[in-house]
Amino acid sequence: MVLLAWVAGVWWLQQASALPTGQGFAIAVGIAACVFVAGALRVIWVAGGTRSYAQPWGATSGRCRPGGKAALAGRGVDDRQAGGAASVNHGWPRWLAVAAFALSAGVGGYAWAAYRAEVRLGDSLPAALEGQDVLVTGVVAGLPITTGDGVRFVFDVERAHALARGDERIGGCDTCGAPSVCGNGKGIGDGGGAGASLAPRRLTGGGDLACGAVHVPKRIELVLPMRSAFGGKGGKRWKGEELGGRGVADLGAGDASEGAAAVAGTQLPRAGERWRMPVRLKAPRGFANWHGFDAELLALVRGIRASGYVRTSFGRGGQTNAVRSRRLHAGPLPGYGFAAWRERLRDDFRAALDPSARYGGVLMALALGERGDIADDDWQMFADTGVSHLLAISGLHVSLVAGAMAVIVGGLWRRASFGRRRLPLWLPAPKAAAVAGLLAAVAYGAIAGWGVPVRRAVGMVAMVVLALLTGRFAAPSYALAWALAVVVTLDPWAVVTPGLWLSFGAVTALVLAARRGDRARSNSSGRPDGARDAEGAEDADVRRKRGAATRLEAVAATPACETLVPKTGTLKIDEASSASAAWRALGWMGRWGVALCRRLAPAARAQYAVTIGLIPLTLAWFGSVPLLGPLANAVAIPVMTLIVTPLALASLMLPSGLAHWALFVAHAVVVWLADWLGTLAAMPWAVWRAPVAPVWAQMVAVVGVVVCLVPMPQWVRAARRWVIGMRLAGVALMGPAALASPQRPAMGEFRVTMLDIGQGNAVLVETATRTLLFDSGPPLGRGGDAGRRVIVPYLRSMGIARLDRMVVSHAHDDHFGGALSVLRAFPEAQVLSSLPEGHRVRRASATHRTCLAGQQWQWEGVTFRFLHPDKAALRDGRRGRAGPNSVSCVLRIANGRHSALLAADAESPQERTMVARYGRALRSDVLLAPHHGSLTSSSSAFVTAVSPAHVVFQTGYRNRFGHPKAAVVARYRSAGATLWQSVTHGGIRFSSTPDGMTAQAYRASYRRYWHALSPDSS
C-alpha cells in the first residue's frame, strides 16, 4: 500500500498544469517527511524488539514458536510487553500507521516528481536563441538513425557560442548581452577558460565571428541533412510545422530547406565521437489535440530540451572551413563506450542481414530494441492483430534470456569442480543459476536500451533473485509493487505513458490468473489441509497411487474429462487403484491427449487473463481491442519466442557467415507469420474500435477485470452458478467502456473542430449524425502525414466510424497531404475538391465531385454551401492563368442562428469576388483565416463583410512564411474579433448552442506543466 501510494503521488504531479511552489507546499513536504521518518524508526524499534524477544522476522503473533511464553518469561519479558510489541501489527493502530505511512509516501512521491521535473525543465533553450545560428561542441550520445531527411542523433552539448559572419549577423551577437542567454563557458579554442570574453572573436581561416558562450540545453536532438537520394538539388524541404509522430516534435526549423543541401564529403557522426557543428535550434513543440500524441512529453521523457538541424550552407558566401561541421575526436570518449559498442552491433547486424529483407526492422527490434526501421503499415498490421507487444523487448524476452542462461549455468555449476573443491558446496547451483540469469537480464536490458517493460522485467527478476539469495519468500505481488515503485522513481514520467500501464497491467493479470489456478488445483485435489502430513506417513506404493489419482482428478476440471473421474472431494486410498486402472485404460492416445490438455491449460489461462486484463487499458489508450488477438498470439508468441528471437540474438554473437544464415531463417519465419497475420488483419471484424470512454467507465471496467480474474471466496466457489454469475457480471462491467459513445451535437446544431496540424488546414464539422472533413493537413516527413498521425486517430478516438464527405480545397500539399491516409481509413467518403483531373487524391476516391459556387446541401437542419470557386475561376485555374489558391473551395456552414466560414487559401481577388457577390451574407461567427493570415489575403473589405466574432489561424510554429502577419492580426483585432492560433491554443473547438457559440481550446483546458508557453494572441 505504501509503495502504491508513492506511485500515486508521482502520477498526481503529472496531472498538474504547473509545478507546485510556495511555502505551503514546502511545509506539507516537511510534515510528511517527519511522519515517515518517525514511523519508520518506530517500526524498526518494534520489529527489533519483536525479533529479539518474541518471534522471528516475518512471523505473525498468532504463530509463535513452541514455548514462546515460557521463553519470554525466562528472559524477563511479561505478557504485557510482548502484547504491546505485537499490538502494532493488529487492529486499528496498525491500519492507522499504514494510512499515515501511505499518505506521507504519496506526498513524498509528489515532491520527488516535482523536483525531477524542475531540474529537467530548468535546462531549457532561451527564447532569444530559437532560430539563431549557434556553434555547439559536444559528443554524439546515442545511435545515429538514418531517415529520409538525413541522419538524426542525440547530442550532449559541452559548450556553445553564437555566430556572426562579418557585418552580417547570422547568429545575432547582440543576444549575448542578455544574462539569461550568455554564460561563462569556455572559449572557442580548446584552451578557452571560464572567463572568456563575451566580445565577438574572429575564427581562424574566415570572416566568421563567435560571441561569448551561450546557454544551450545539455542534451539536444539534431538532424544532419543529406543530399536527396534521387540527386535533386535540395533534397527534402523542411517546413515549420511540428512532427507529430514517433520522434521529438519539430526537428526542423523555419527555413531549414537550405540545410538540405548536399553534404558532400562530410563524414557521418558516430556514437561516442566529439564534434563541433553550426546548428539552429528550437524548443520542442508538438501538436496539441484531444486524445492525440504528446510529442512534448516524449521530449521531456528522453531529456531532449531542444531540437534542430545542422547548418550546411550559409547562403551567398557558403560555409567557411572555420564553422563547418568537424569531428574533433574519433572516440569513443569515456562514458560513451557502451553506445559506440551498440552501434557496432547494429552495423554488424545490418551487414549480416539481407538488404532486401522486408521485415529486417522486426529482427532489429528483437535484437537491439531499435524499432525505427519497421514500416508504419507493418506496425498497423501487428497492432490490429494484438501482437505488437512482441516487437518490443519486454518481460517475455528478458525472461527467455534470463531463463536460458540460468539453465545453462545451473547445469554446468552442478558438475563444476576444481581439485577437491566442488562449486556447488561453495554456492548452491540454484543460487548460482539465479545470479547468472539476473546478469543476463541486465546485459540484455542494456543492449535493448532500458525501455519500461525491460526495466519492469529486470526489476522483478532482481527481486526474485534477492529473495532466493536471502532465503526470504517474495510474493509476486510484492515483487511487482517494488518493481513499479523503482521504475516510477527512476522515470517519474513513465506513469503517463502507455508502456508502463500495459506492461504492469499484463503482469498483474497473470498474477491474478496464477493465484486462481493455484486455488483451482488445490480444490481439484480434494484434500484437506492435514492430508499432506498424513501422506508423509504412507508407504511409497500408496503415495504413487494417490499421485496418479490426483493427477487424473486435476484433469477432470475440463468439461471434456468430467466423465473420467467423479469430483467427489477426498479420494479414498482404496479408490486410487481403480483411478490408476482408468488412467491405463485410456490408451496411449487418450493419455497423450490428456497430457496435452494439461500442458495447454496454463497457457490458455494466461492468454485469457492477459486478453481480459488489457481490455480497459487498450480501450483507454488506443480506443480499440483486437478481437483476433488471442488466436494471433497463440501462434505468434511461440514462433517469435522460441524461433525468431533466439536466432536474432544468436546472430549478435556468431561470425558474419553464420549470422547471415541465422537471420535468413529468422526472416523467413517472420515473413510467413506476417502473411498469416495480414490475412487476419484484413478481416472486417478483426478489430473492435470504440471512442475513448469517460473516466468513470474506465474505472468500472477495471473493477470488471478484477471480478473476472480474482479467485473467488470459498462460499462462492461452493456453488458453480455463483461463480459463473460473478464472471459474467465482470464482463458486463466492461460494457460501458467498450460501448461508450461520444456526445454529438443536438439536432439542428453543429460543431467545428480546428485541429492542430502545423502549417496547413484540417477542420472537422459534425452535425447530429453526419461528419465532414475540410482539408487534410500537410505531409510530415518520411512516410507520415497529418492524416495518419492526427486526423484518423482523432476521428477514431471520437467514435466516428463513418466519414460522409471530405473537402480538399485546392492542390497544395498542406491541404491535401493527409488525404490518402484518410481515404484508406474511410474509403466510403465522398470527395469534393477543385483538384485537377488525374490527381492522386481524385483517383483514390470512390466518388468525386468538383466544388462549385452555389452548391449546397442540408444535414439535420444545418446548411452547407460553397461560395467559391465559380466556373470562370475553375477555367482559369485549369488553363494555368492562376495558381491553385485561386480555385480554393470556400465553404459556409449555417443553421439559421450561427455560422462558420472556411476560407482555405482564398486571396484578395477571390475575396473581392465573394464580397461583390454575397455582400453582408458573408457574415459569420467563426472564420478560418484565409491563407493562414498572409498579406495577400484578409482584405479590409472582406474582414468588414464577414465581421467574425472568432478568427482562427492554423499555422506551424516558427513557420518559414511568418504567418500570421502582424498587419493581418491587427486588422482582425481592430474589427473586434477574438483571435485563436493553433500554435498558441492547440486544437480549437466551436459548438453552436441555443445560447450562443461556445469555444474551447485544448491547451487551455488540458494544459500540463511540460507544455510550452506561447504568448496569448487573443
Model confidence at 787: pLDDT above 50? yes
Report how far Cα 679 is from the mean position of its chain's Cα atoms: 27
Report how far Cα 1009 is from the mean position of its chain's Cα atoms: 18
CATH 3.60.15.10 occupies which residues in the chain?
751-1005
Give the C-alpha separation, 338 to 485, whole Å. 27
CB atoms within 10 A of CB 469: 14
Categorize the per-residue pLDDT at 398 as very low, low, confident or very high, splitting at 50, 70 and 90.
confident
Q: What is the pLDDT of residue 46?
A: 62
Average pLDDT over residues 123-151: 88
Categorize the per-residue pLDDT at 173 as very low, low, confident or very high, splitting at 50, 70 and 90.
very low
CB atoms within 10 A of CB 839: 17
Tell me which residue of 496, 476, 393 sits closest to 15, measured CA to CA: 496
Give me the chain's average pLDDT, please: 79
In the chain, the amino acid numbered 176 is: C
Query: Cα torsion at 305, 309, 315, 319 (round to 10°)?
Result: 100
- 147 secondary structure, DSSP code: E
CA distances from 324 to 137, 167, 187, 215, 320 (A): 12, 19, 17, 21, 6
Span between the terminal Cα atoms of the chain, in Å: 47
Report whether 153 contacts 251 (CB < 8 A).
Answer: no
Give the C-alpha separation, 665 to 677, whole Å. 18
Tell me which residue of 148, 141, 160 sits closest to 281, measured CA to CA: 160
Counting every residue, how long is the chain? 1018
**Residue range 606-618, pLDDT digits in tens:** 888 888 888 898 8
- The helix or strand, by DSSP H or E, that contains position 536, with its residue range, turns out to be helix 531-536
Report how far Cα 194 is from the mean position of its chain's Cα atoms: 41
Per the model's pLDDT, the better-predicted residue between 175 and 753 turns out to be: 753
60-69, 215-224, 804-813, 897-906: least confident range: 60-69
Query: Cα torsion at 549, 550, 553, 554 (round to 10°)?
Result: -150
Q: What is the pLDDT of residue 997?
A: 92
Categorize the per-residue pLDDT at 338 as very low, low, confident or very high, splitting at 50, 70 and 90.
confident
Model confidence at 1006: pLDDT above 80? yes
As given in the structure block, the three cell numbers for residue 150 are 538525413
Q: What is the pLDDT of residue 554?
A: 38
As given in the structure block, the three cell numbers for residue 893 are 456552414
Is beta strand 219-225 parallel, antiparallel or unpaired with respect to 307-310?
parallel
Supply the DSSP string of 375-399, one letter for each residue. -HHHHHHHHHTT-GGGGS--HHHHH
Categorize the per-residue pLDDT at 581 as very low, low, confident or very high, splitting at 50, 70 and 90.
low
Burial level of 937, CB count in 10 A (0-12/13-18/19+)? Answer: buried
Report whether 413 contacts 429 (CB < 8 A).
Answer: yes
**Residue range 503-561, pLDDT digits in tens:** 888 888 888 877 665 555 555 544 444 444 444 444 444 444 444 434 333 333 333 34
**Residue range 217-237, pLDDT digits in tens:** 999 999 998 743 333 333 333
Give the C-alpha separation, 987 to 755, whole Å. 5
Model confidence at 81: pLDDT above 80? no
Give the C-alpha separation, 238 to 1004, whole Å. 29
- 58 secondary structure, DSSP code: T
Query: Could you tell me the CATH superfamily of domain 751-1005?
Result: Ribonuclease Z/Hydroxyacylglutathione hydrolase-like (3.60.15.10)
Burial level of 541, CB count in 10 A (0-12/13-18/19+)? Answer: exposed
Is beta strand 307-310 parallel, antiparallel or unpaired with respect to 326-329?
unpaired
Phi-psi region of 747 (alpha: psi -120 to 50; beta: other; left: phi over 0): beta
Average pLDDT over residues 739-753: 91
Q: What is the pLDDT of residue 288?
A: 94
As given in the structure block, the three cell numbers for residue 258 are 537550405
Average pLDDT over residues 729-748: 89
Supply the DSSP string of 1001-1016, one letter for each residue. EHHHHS--TTSPP---
pTM to 2 decimal places: 0.80
- Helix and strand element counts for the chain (H, E): 37, 28
Model confidence at 199: pLDDT above 50? no
Tell me which residue of 59, 54, 88 sits closest to 71, measured CA to CA: 54
By three-state DSSP, how is residue 807 classified?
strand
Average pLDDT over residues 691-703: 90
Give the C-alpha separation, 410 to 243, whole Å. 50
Give the C-alpha separation, 14 to 403, whole Å. 36
Per the model's pLDDT, the better-predicted residue between 197 and 358 turns out to be: 358
CB atoms within 10 A of CB 356: 7
Residue owning grid cell 502582424: 966
Report whether 770 contacts 763 (CB < 8 A).
Answer: no
Categorize the per-residue pLDDT at 211 as very low, low, confident or very high, splitting at 50, 70 and 90.
low
CA triplet 643, 646, 647: central angle to 5 degrees? 80
Per the model's pLDDT, the better-predicted residue between 814 and 66 turns out to be: 814
For CA atoms 812, 818, 824, 830, give the dihedral sign: negative
Alpha helix ranges (H) inside 416-490: 423-426, 429-448, 452-470, 476-490
As given in the structure block, the three cell numbers for residue 73 are 518469561
Average pLDDT over residues 449-470: 79
Alpha helix ranges (H) inside 837-957: 840-844, 871-878, 908-918, 940-946
Per the model's pLDDT, the better-predicted residue between 517 and 418 turns out to be: 418
Tell me which residue of 746, 764, 954 sits closest to 290, measured CA to CA: 764
Give the C-alpha separation, 482 to 460, whole Å. 8
**Residue range 259-305, pLDDT digits in tens:** 333 343 457 899 999 999 999 999 999 999 999 999 999 999 989 99
Burial level of 439, CB count in 10 A (0-12/13-18/19+)? Answer: middle
Per the model's pLDDT, the better-predicted residue between 626 and 479 turns out to be: 626
Q: Which residues pair with 890 in a beta bridge?
A: 868
